[in-house]
């Protein structure tokens, strides 16, 4: 099986590239790939279409996205091109070839006004440009009518790329105090867990992924179990970090979102209910703290 994979320089794409090797032949494409046949800039619909037609994959997996949540407020057209429009073109090309699509989305499609975990039936109501563009991407894929999986995840981190974990570790070497918001609740999710869950779904019928996604495809929530705030996440990072002597940090202070205004507003509560994933595929991701322990053990 040929798998065309975008976003391999990103947190999730990097993990997917390794994990999917057991499932099929992974063909990484991207905007900085040297081979012109594998170049794919998601702002350029012609490169999307040309490359997919060239590679002729059986499955397209698209973790690439415009993920700079605050910057998106100033670059709405660019964010929409990458997150909202490109996924539709990918889905159309997949349909044309008889291929299936796996795409990733975000907890930020919700407004955060609930106080119990969001299910796939809950109405999205994104509060920022990033969330709006990601919702547009979900809708674009669903409307094409290609067999697909859309996996909504949250608070993604890993030991590479730009993420909250690495930001905290860096700031701890530079500052005596770090102030972190304690009134936004979600589930920090290690990118490797998302990649492994994706591979486990595919391994339920590796001979016929198309059929698998015809029968069981659709929208799923896929996050780590448990919940915390950004402050709780930071506190646990520093408890698990063995390199305490390298730190300048003296105080980790819990603050409110009001005390830390950002260009993009974020949902106060964006926990996702993973029941559908568990019922359909028998998959439950580990608690966020267990994953973080593993990641920090690699880092220490
Ligand atoms: P990253 O920001 O780590 O990686 C984004 C990837 O997208 C990079 O490989 C980047 O390539 C690629 N990309 C960006 N713009 C383009 C473009 N114009 N053309 C081609 N490729 C492009 O993302 P994550 O791995 O963290 O996110 C994976 C998925 O999970 C995304 O769908 C995201 O929306 C979703 N998600 C992420 C969350 C998070 O906290 N990060 C939270 C919830 C959901 P390049 O190196 O060329 O820039």
Ligand 1 atom nearest to 64, measured from its CA: 7
Ramachandran angles phi, psi of 93, nearest 5°: -65, -40
Is 155 a pocket residue for ligand 1 (Cβ < 6 Å)? yes
Domain ranges, ordered by start, for the chain: 2-163+189-226+270-286
Ligand 1 atom nearest to 164, measured from its CA: 40
Q: Give the pLDDT band of residue 224 (cuts 50, 70, 90).
A: very high
pLDDT tens, residue by residue, 161-170: 999 999 999 9
Radius of gyration (Cα) for the chain, nearest Å? 19
Predicted structure pTM score: 0.97
Q: How far, CA to CA in Å, does 292 sit from each of 188, 192, 238?
A: 9, 11, 11
Contacts of 235 (CB under 8 A, 6+ apart): 252
248 CA distance to ligand 1 centroid (A)?
Answer: 31
Find the mean pLDDT for residues 7-16.
96
Is 130 a pocket residue for ligand 1 (Cβ < 6 Å)? no
Identify the CATH number of the domain defined by range 2-163+189-226+270-286: 3.40.50.720
Q: Is the pLDDT of residue 225 over 90?
A: yes
């Amino acid at each position: 099986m040929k798998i065309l994979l975008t976003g391999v320089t990103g947190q999730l794409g990097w993990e997917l590239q390794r994990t999917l090797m057991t499932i099929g032949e992974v063909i990484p494409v991207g905007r900085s790939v040297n081979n012109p046949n594998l170049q794919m800039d998601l702002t350029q619909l012609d490169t999307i279409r040309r490359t997919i037609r060239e590679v002729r994959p059986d499955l397209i997996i698209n973790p690439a996205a415009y993920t700079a949540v605050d910057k998106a407020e100033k670059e709405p057209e660019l964010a929409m091109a990458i997150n909202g429009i490109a996924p539709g073109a990918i889905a159309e090309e997949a349909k044309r070839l008889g291929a299936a699509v796996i795409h990733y989305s975000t907890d930020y499609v919700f407004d955060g006004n609930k106080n119990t975990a969001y299910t796939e039936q809950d109405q999205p109501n994104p509060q920022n440009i990033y969330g709006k563009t990601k919702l547009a991407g979900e809708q674009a894929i669903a409307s094409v009518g290609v067999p697909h999986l859309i996996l909504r995840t949250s608070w993604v981190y890993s030991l590479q790329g730009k993420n909250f974990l690495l930001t905290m570790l860096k700031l701890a070497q530079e500052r005596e105090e770090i102030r972190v918001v304690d009134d936004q609740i979600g589930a920090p999710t290690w990118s490797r867990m998302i990649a492994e869950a994706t591979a486990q779904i595919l391994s339920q019928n590796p001979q016929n992924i198309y059929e698998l996604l015809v029968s069981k495809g659709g929208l799923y929530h896929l996050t780590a179990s448990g919940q915390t705030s950004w402050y709780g996440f930071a506190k646990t990072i520093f408890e698990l970090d063995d390199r305490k002597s390298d730190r300048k940090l003296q105080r980790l202070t819990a603050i409110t979102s009001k005390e830390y205004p950002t260009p993009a507003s974020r949902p106060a509560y964006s926990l996702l209910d993973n029941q559908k994933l568990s019922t359909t595929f028998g998959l439950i991701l580990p608690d966020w703290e267990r994953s973080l322990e593993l990641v920090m053990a690699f880092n220490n």
